[in-house]
Amino acid sequence: MKSYSNTYMFLYVSALVVIIAVVLSLVSLGLRPRREANVQAEKALQILKASGYAHVERAQAIVAFDSLAEKESSRSDGEMYRIRCADGSTGHVIPLQGKGLWGAIWGYAVLSDDLTTIKGVSFAHKSETPGLGAKITEEAFECSFEGKKLYDADGHFVSVKVVPKGKGEAIAEKNRVDAISGATITSRGVDKMLADGFQRIKE
Amino acid sequence: MSDIFNIFVRSVFIDNMVFAYFLGMCSYLAVSKDVKTAFGLGLAVSFVLAVTVPVNYLMDKYLLQAGALSWLGERFAAVDLSFLSLILFIAVIAGIVQLLEMVMERYLPALYMALGIFLPLIAVNCAILGGSLFMQEKNFPTVIHSFSYALGSGLGWLLAIVAFAAIRERLKFSNIPVPLRGNGIAYIITGLLGIGFMAFLGI
Amino acid sequence: MKKYLGPLSKDNPILVQTLGVCSALAVTAQMKPAVVMALSVTVVCAFSNLIISLLRNTIPPRIRIIVQLLVVSFFVILVDQLLQAMLYDVSKILSVFVGLIITNCIIMGRLEAFALSHKPIPSLMDGMMNGLGYGLVLVVVAFFRELLGSGTLWNHPVVPASWYAAGYMNNGLMILPPMALILVGVLIWAKNSLTS
C-alpha cells in the first residue's frame, strides 16, 4: 500500500471541497429563478383553486393570478388579496397557517366581500399521512367548506368547525364540516388553523 | 419549558426514528442479535445525536440559512448557503465522531472499550444525519429545543433497538417457516412494533 | 452482461444484503415519489461509483470515507437542486429523504466494495444495477401500498366505483409507515421460497 503524506491528504481534501463548492454554487445560482418561480406558481395555483378556477396550468398560474388578484395588505403570516372569483363575484383571500400531525399545514380561504361566508378554500401540507391526513388537499374535503358561515344565527363569531361525522349536532350545519375519518389530529389542526386565521380577520 | 419537554416525549415515542421514519435501519438490523451490544450501540447513537444536532443547529442558524450571515455585516444579509447544508452537516458529524473517538480513547478508556467499536459505524448511520435534517426542517426556536429533540430521538432509537434485540433473542427458539428466517421475520417484527408504537399518536 | 444483473434479484441490496432501507420506505406510500426516489438513488449511485473509480488510485486510504462522503453529497445536492427546479411536486413529498441518500448504505457499500478496486465502466454499471435493484423493491412496495391503500396507481383511480358501491374499502393500514416493513418482509419470504 502506498503511503501518503499529511500535506498531500490535506491538499487533496481541500481541493475536492473547493471544486465541489464552486460547482454547486453555480448550479444553485443557475437554478434559483426556476425554484423561486415554482414557489410563486404554487401559491398562485392554490389561491386560484380556492377562488373556483379548478384547472389552471402551472405555467399560466402566475399570469392568471396577476390579472385577477390585487394585493390588499401584508401581514406577518402572509399577504391578503382581493380577487375576482370564477363565478364573477369578488372576494378576499385570507392566508392560513397551522400544524397537522407530522408538520406544517397551510392554505388560503376566499371569503365573501362582507367577510361572513366562505367561498372556497384550498389546503396544503408538508408531510401528512397519504390517504389519511393528506386528504385535506382533496376536492371532496375542500368543497365541503363552500358556503359555510363564520357567524352563528345570533351573529356571534364561531369560525367554521371541523368535527367528526355525527358528533357535531350541537353546531349548526352552516358552521361545521365533517372531519376526515382516521385523521383526527390533522382535522383538529385544520379547525384551529381556520379559527386562528378568521379570528385575526375579525379583529 | 413545557414545549421542550413535549418535543422530548414526542421524539421518543411518536416521531420515533426507527418506526416512523425507518432511519438507522441498517445498523438496527445488523447489530440487534443480542441485547447487550444493542444497548451499547443505542447509547452511542444517543450520545452522538445529542452532540451533533445542537452543533449543526448553530451552524444552520449562523452560517447557512438565508440571512444567517447578517452578523458579518449588512453586505452578507442576502447570502443563502442552505444548499450547502448537507455537506456541512455530514462533515460536522464525521468530524465530531472522529474527535469523540480520540477523546474517549485518551480520557475514558472504559467507555471507549464499551462504545468505541460502534463509533466509526455511526458516522454513516442515517439516524444521525436524519436528526440534523429534521432539526433543520422543524425550525426550532432555540438550541435547547434542538438538544431536547436530539436526546429524545436518540433514546427513541435506543428503545427501538433494545426492544427488537430482546425479541430476537427469543426468536432463536421459535419455529419460523424456513424462507422467512433471518431478515424476512426481522422486517415483519419491526413493522408490527411500529404499529404498536402508533398507539402513541395523539398524545 | 450477466454478471451485472445480480443486484436485481440474486444479490438484491434490500432483500438480501439488507442495505439502504433507511431513507427509502417512508416514500413508498405512492408510486410517483417511489419512482423518483429510485431514479435519484440510481443516478447518485452510478455516478459516485464512476467518480470514485476514476479517482481510486489517488485517494489516500486513511481519508477515503471523507472523500466518498464528499463525492456522494455532491451528487445528492445536485439531484436535490434539480428536483426542486424541475419536479417541484415530488420534491415536496420527498423532502429530507433526498438528503438522506447520502447515508444510504447501498451507495457507501458499493463504493467500498466495488468502485475502489475496479475500472470506471464496470463501476458505473455496478452502481447503476444496484441502484435499480434497490429501486425495483421500492416500486413494488409502492405499487401494492398505493393500490390497496388508496385504490389508485400513479394517482389515477383504478378500483372501479362499482366495487366501492358493493362495500369494498381501501385498506387504510397499508398507508401507514409500518406496513412498508411488513411488505418488504413478505417480499423476502416470497423471494426465498422461489429461489431456494
- Is B95 at the interface with chain C, CB within 8 A? no
Give dist(CA B112, CA C112) in Å, integer. Answer: 26
| Cβ-Cβ contacts under 8 Å, A17 against chain C | 70
Give dist(CA C153, CA C157) in Å, integer. Answer: 6
The alpha carbon of residue C63 is apart from the nearest alpha carbon of chain A, in Å, by 7
Neighbours of B62 (CB within 10 A): 13
What pLDDT shows up at residue B152? 94
Q: What is the pLDDT of residues B85-106, one digit of tens each?
A: 888 888 888 888 888 888 888 8
| Cβ-Cβ contacts under 8 Å, A185 against chain B | 201-202
What pLDDT shows up at residue C55? 92
Percentage of chain C modeled with pLDDT above 70: 90
**pLDDT confidence tier of residue B147, bands split at 50, 70 and 90:** very high
What pLDDT shows up at residue A131? 67
The alpha carbon of residue A147 is apart from the nearest alpha carbon of chain B, in Å, by 31
pLDDT at B154 over 90: yes
Please report where in the chains the cell 413493522 appears, as a residue: B191
| Cβ-Cβ contacts under 8 Å, A127 against chain C | 95
The interface predicted TM-score of the complex, written ipTM, equals 0.80
Q: Nine-digit cell at A47?
A: 389561491
Q: What is the pLDDT of residues C97-130, one digit of tens each?
A: 788 788 777 888 888 888 988 999 999 999 999 9
pLDDT at B20 over 70: yes
Q: Which residue of B has its CA nearest to A21?
A: B84
pLDDT at B150 over 90: yes
- Is B99 at the interface with chain C, CB within 8 A? no
pLDDT at B66 over 80: no
Cβ within 8 Å of residue A41, ≥6 positions away: A58, A59, A61, A62
Cβ within 8 Å of residue A88, ≥6 positions away: none
Please report where in the chains the cell 419455529 appears, as a residue: B175
* DSSP code for C56: T
| Cβ-Cβ contacts under 8 Å, B87 against chain A | 20-21, 24
Cβ within 8 Å of residue A114, ≥6 positions away: none
Q: What is the pLDDT along chain A (203 residues), one digit of tens a residue?
A: 567 788 888 898 889 888 988 998 898 888 888 888 888 888 888 888 888 887 777 778 888 888 888 887 777 667 788 888 888 888 888 889 888 877 788 889 999 888 889 999 999 887 777 667 788 888 889 889 988 888 888 888 888 889 888 787 788 888 889 998 878 888 998 999 999 888 887 76
Give dist(CA B125, CA B28) in Å, integer. Answer: 9
Please report where in the chains the cell 372501479 appears, as a residue: C160
Segment C90-94 mean pLDDT: 79
Polymer length in residues for chain A: 203
Q: Which chains border B (3 or more CB–CB pairs < 8 Å)?
A: A, C
Give dist(CA A105, CA B40) in Å, integer. Answer: 38
What pLDDT shows up at residue B28? 84
What pLDDT shows up at residue B182? 79
The alpha carbon of residue B32 is apart from the nearest alpha carbon of chain C, in Å, by 13
What pLDDT shows up at residue A190? 92
Mutate to test the interface with A, among C64, C74, C159 (most CBs of A within 10 A): C74
What pLDDT shows up at residue C24? 65
Q: Which residue of C has its CA nearest to B189?
A: C182
| Cβ-Cβ contacts under 8 Å, A21 against chain B | 84, 87
Segment B68-82 mean pLDDT: 73
Q: Annotate chain B with three-state secondary structure.
A: CHHHHHHHHHHHHHCCCCCCCCCCHHHHHHCCCCHHHHHHHHHHHHHHHHHHHHHHHHHHHHHHCCCHHHHHCHHHCCCCCHHHHHHHHHHHHHHHHHHHHHHHHHHCHHHHHHHHHHHHHHCCCHHHHHHHHHHHHHCCCCHHHHHHHHHHHHHHHHHHHHHHHHHHHHHCCCCCCHHHCCHHHHHHHHHHHHHHHHHHCCC
- Do the Cβ atoms of B38 and B18 come closer than 8 Å? no
Tally B–C CB contacts below 8 A.
137
CB contact under 8 A, C178 and B194: yes
pLDDT at B177 over 70: yes
Strands (E), C42-148: none
Q: What is the pLDDT of residues C181-190, one digit of tens each?
A: 899 889 888 8
Strands (E), A37-167: 69-75, 78-84, 90-99, 104-112, 118-125, 161-163
Segment B191-202 mean pLDDT: 81
pLDDT at B169 over 70: yes
Q: What is the pLDDT of residues B32-60, one digit of tens each?
A: 888 888 888 888 889 899 999 999 999 88
* DSSP code for A179: P
- The residue ranking higher by pLDDT, A78 or C147, is C147
Integer angstrom CA distances of residue B19 from A101, B8, B164, B186? 16, 16, 11, 13
Give dist(CA A123, CA A144) in Å, integer. Answer: 13
**pLDDT confidence tier of residue B162, bands split at 50, 70 and 90:** very high
Q: What is the pLDDT of residues C124-136, one digit of tens each?
A: 999 999 999 888 8
What pLDDT shows up at residue B116? 65
CB contact under 8 A, B25 and C108: no
Question: What is the overall mean pLDDT for chain B?
Answer: 83
Dihedral sign for Cα C118, C124, C125, C127, please: positive
* DSSP code for A91: E
Give dist(CA A85, CA A118) in Å, integer. Answer: 12
CB contact under 8 A, C180 and B137: no
- The residue ranking higher by pLDDT, B16 or A73, is B16
| Cβ-Cβ contacts under 8 Å, C84 against chain A | 31, 35, 38
Burial B7-24 (b: 16+ CB within 10 A, else e): bbebbbbbbbbbbbbbbb
Q: Give the CA radius of gyration of chain C.
A: 18
pLDDT at C1 over 60: no
A35 in helix, strand or coil? Answer: helix
